A and B are shown apart, each in its own frame.
Chain A
Amino acid sequence: METSAKKSLRSFYWTWVILTAVGVGLSLWLPRRYMPAAMSNDAHLTMTTMILFSICAAPVASGVYAGALHVLRHHRYRGDGVPPPAPQIRESTKLLTSWITASAILTVFVLVWGLGALAAENGSSSSNPLVVNVTGQQWVWTFSYPGTHVVSDELYLPENREVEFRVTSLDVTHGFWLVNMGVQVDANPDVITTIHTTPDKLGVFEVRCEQFCGLNHAFMDAVGYVVTPQKFSSWLSAQPARA
């Protein structure tokens, strides 16, 4: 009896280990396979955080699944009629304290990482950011570059320079989201909200509205380009003054 209980416990631990390994594998593969190509410092941080949190979650989820599977295999009543009473266990201080301690440690770790990442996102204020004014209205985005006369419905950004977006709306609340940059903020009427990011990869990226804004919400998007600083200045000077 005692040995079979020990044996079944061993199978529980093995299930736990195997499921954890599967979870870690998924954590390493899924985000990189499915998340949009990271094109800014914030997007890289987002990707790292995603993978790290998934790896932390793997043993917790696997532990619960291994426990549930163990119950299904070894503690299911297979006879007919009402099952006989089981051992009347009410508490286990050891189990309870270790469970709460483990979950508290994980929570604190996740919190410290998250607060650190938040500070990194907020703290990186360069002295000379490029300012872009973003205006949302039903159902288009417009971008203007203070100090120039450029007003565009495409967003051009130079590589490796911090950008400060000052976002507002002309009508309802919109959600300004740079899909490949990992940052977003609402565009509210009569209010200016700001976000920062530093694009660090050349290429095309998407700008979307992620706050429900009415009839054509699904089609409120724009195209963005990260270009070299030289190309950026020549693009700026090539624009007709519309303002």
Chain B
Amino acid sequence: MTTTLEHATTMAQPKGGGLARHQNFATAIVAGVVLAWVGWFLGRHLFWNGSDNWSDQVTILTLLGWMLGFWIGIGAFNAPFQWLLGRDNTRADNLYYAGDKQGRMRYWKFTTDHKVVGVQYIIVTMGLLAVGGILAMAIRTELITPGTHFVNQQVYNSFIAIHGMVMILALIVAVAGPWGNFVMPIMIGARDMAFPRLNALSLWTLVSAATVLVGTLAVGGLPVGWVVLGTIANQAGPGMDFFAVAIVIFTVSTTVASVNLITTVITMRTRGMTLDRLPIFVWGTIITAALALYAFPFFFVAEANQIFDRTASTSFYVAAGGGTSWLQANLFWLMGHPEVYVILIPAVAALFEISSTMARKPVFSYRTAVGAMVVLAGLSAVVWAHHMFTAGWAPSLSGPFMVTTELISIPTGIFFLVLVGTLWRGNVWMKLPTVWMFGFIFNFIVGGVTGIYLSDVPLDEQLHGTMFVTAHFHYIFVGSVLFGAIAALAYWFPKVSGRYLNEFLGRLSFWLVFSGVQLTFGAMFLSGLKGMPRRDASYSFAFEHTNFISTIGAYMIMSGMLVLLGAVITSWRSGEPSGPNPWRANTLEWQVPTPPPLENFDVLPVITEDPYHFDETTVNA
């Protein structure tokens, strides 16, 4: 790739693109609004307004207009257009698209440099966490005492659905987005991703999908639960169209990103970077990407069917028309369970990396760790119906799905062995990433063990649909994945900003969030055991005390996250400078200057051993 680029510089350089050089987030919004209006106008006049589906048809066309306009406005199609016009990109064009010499403005543009995309993913993740977090606080505030007082049931029901889906999106991209893009290509010794433009495309399609998802709140919300079971979805207003379109575009975004990550690792590794020398985080990223490629098309189909049901009176999910909402449930969980591991594996893989560096020891049982991730990804494809044990759908499959689900505890157990085994007899450096890693170990045990109860069909027939389930997966998502994501942030923050994440604020945040998680979700387990259903806007006095504790804990989590946000902002601007390799790690991203230059390496490195050997030279490097 480099040779072609250098070759191109010697060719004639046509001066390029006046308008195309002024495109950014603002022009994207303007173009999006314009085309959304065009879609709305066309829809109102093209479709027959006597039909039941008219408002859905108009909504869908408006949203597609918004998406298309947004992509055109950000400049997603510039390069293909140029190519269609018979003019290939020059070296100057490519440097321009990579954000060369554009300062901070490049973060607001369709920039192809993987490091810019990585930072953009950090910002998108933080934005999604903020929206989902505010909704979580609203939910917990409503639940502080029995009865309805703060938001009405309709609003509450919308909040739980949007909170759920926004947080799922946030966590899917929380580790693989920022670090799969920012550090992974440097880790394997590449100058960029295999498809830099697709990289920018995956980011900006995600942004456009996220705007529509959050926009649901502006059109009456989505008062049908985040799983949007086929039968109840029919009762939802335009919010359901927003949701379906957002998901369809989101699945496109993840597919594009996954293809890019996998191709990059397969084709762009530097000389000597054999598969058994790959940093384990890279393994985690591509296993996740492969799993996402398998899982998210189901979600695409699930929501595309929904769109057809609503706009064209197909009846995929309508029993009266020969459909079944079990089809929706199956498609949803065919995505939904692998998605849990799409969320989890990158966080675990990042922690393997961190544990090795911080303990000054190699990753314990590297090959077994990789194997466990592969097995986990494979198993997760065949466990989906454990979400449907009580659906009444195929009771004869309860046994087989119980077997596949409980087998998951074996690879998950290996994760603990690898983490604790790496730390064991190490010289463990208690810095911020290490602190959050210990929080992960504590919470992941709680989340993991309670998963075993739920995989047991007879127990699930009591616990399903209760707060016990909610507490279980929040221990996984908040207690484990978010802790892993913050550990990864603290670990790679110096590479992005050249500064340490503030140790004091980071630890304060840790203790607030850690205690908050124990209070919130610990008490939630008790609510669930006692028999409090999920997704309820109100509850009986029997659950009063545990819910009060959960709400107090939730406020602690929120304050901890605000402290963390403060730490990120202040450290980014004026934190203690860290130098290029503050943790004295051996992986390649720490061997390049900070911030890494465009195209990362002057001369591509040649690899002779894996990055997990620590000796005296690594200390003094």
Q: Interface segment, B113-121, B302-310, B530-538?
A: B530-538
A104 touching B410, Cβ below 8 Å: yes
Knowing A86-B360, A86-B614, the reply to whether A71 touches B390 (Cβ < 8 A) is no
Docked complex Cα distance between A215 and B438 (Å): 41
**Residue of A88, A122, A216, A217 with most partner-chain B CB within 10 A:** A217
A236 close to chain B: CB less than 8 A:
no
CB-defined contacts of B361 to chain A, threshold 8 Å: 85-89
Bitwise interface map of A from 2 to 24 toward B, beta carbon under 8 Å scored 1, else 0: 00000000000000000000000
B227 touching A117, Cβ below 8 Å: no
Docked complex Cα distance between A85 and B429 (Å): 11
B11 close to chain A: CB less than 8 A:
no
Docked complex Cα distance between A166 and B77 (Å): 56
B contact patch SS:
helix
A49 touching B456, Cβ below 8 Å: yes
B424 touching A71, Cβ below 8 Å: yes
Bitwise interface map of A from 92 to 115 toward B, beta carbon under 8 Å scored 1, else 0: 100110011001101100110111
For the complex, count residues of A whose C-beta is within 8 A of B.
85
Could you tell me which residues of chain B, from 509 to 550, have a CB within 8 Å of some CB in chain A? 526, 529-531, 533-539
CB-defined contacts of B442 to chain A, threshold 8 Å: 65, 68
B72 close to chain A: CB less than 8 A:
no
CB-defined contacts of A92 to chain B, threshold 8 Å: 364-365, 421
CB-defined contacts of B458 to chain A, threshold 8 Å: 42, 45-46, 49, 114, 117-118, 121, 182
CB-defined contacts of B429 to chain A, threshold 8 Å: 77, 82-83
**Chain A, residue nearest B536 (CB):** A218
Could you say which of B224, B392, B414, B529 contacts A31, with CB atoms under 8 Å apart? B529
A117 touching B456, Cβ below 8 Å: yes
The interface size bin for chain B is 35 or more
**Residue of B232, B441, B464, B616 with most partner-chain A CB within 10 A:** B232
CB-defined contacts of B392 to chain A, threshold 8 Å: 167, 185-186, 188, 191, 193-194
Docked complex Cα distance between A46 and B374 (Å): 33
Q: Interface segment, B237-245, B259-267, B400-408?
A: B400-408
A36 touching B530, Cβ below 8 Å: yes
Knowing A34-B529, A86-B427, the reply to whether A217 touches B420 (Cβ < 8 A) is no
CB-defined contacts of B449 to chain A, threshold 8 Å: 57, 60-61
CB distance from B299 to the nearest CB of A (A): 19
Knowing A60-B449, A65-B442, A86-B361, the reply to whether A171 touches B619 (Cβ < 8 A) is no
Could you tell me which residues of chain B, from 410 to 432, have a CB within 8 Å of some CB in chain A? 410, 413-414, 416-417, 420-421, 423-430
**Residue of B417, B465, B533 with most partner-chain A CB within 10 A:** B533
CB-defined contacts of A216 to chain B, threshold 8 Å: 153
CB distance from A197 to the nearest CB of B (A): 10
Docked complex Cα distance between A165 and B360 (Å): 61
Could you say which of B224, B406, B537 contacts A218, with CB atoms under 8 Å apart? B537
CB-defined contacts of A225 to chain B, threshold 8 Å: none
B232 touching A111, Cβ below 8 Å: no
Docked complex Cα distance between A61 and B619 (Å): 34
Docked complex Cα distance between A76 and B358 (Å): 10
A43 close to chain B: CB less than 8 A:
yes
B180 close to chain A: CB less than 8 A:
no
B225 close to chain A: CB less than 8 A:
yes
A210 touching B465, Cβ below 8 Å: yes
Knowing A68-B420, A111-B406, the reply to whether A89 touches B153 (Cβ < 8 A) is no
Knowing A68-B442, A191-B319, the reply to whether A114 touches B413 (Cβ < 8 A) is no
B232 touching A90, Cβ below 8 Å: no
B46 close to chain A: CB less than 8 A:
no
A46 touching B462, Cβ below 8 Å: yes
CB distance from B232 to the nearest CB of A (A): 4
B428 touching A212, Cβ below 8 Å: no
A173 touching B456, Cβ below 8 Å: no
B406 touching A89, Cβ below 8 Å: no
B462 touching A214, Cβ below 8 Å: no
A179 close to chain B: CB less than 8 A:
yes
B380 close to chain A: CB less than 8 A:
no
- 7 inter-chain pairs at a CB distance below 8 angstroms, sorted by A residue, are A60-B449, A85-B360, A85-B615, A185-B392, A212-B227, A213-B232, A218-B537
Which 4 pairs of residues, A with B, have the shortest CB-CB distance?
A193-B392, A210-B465, A212-B225, A83-B427
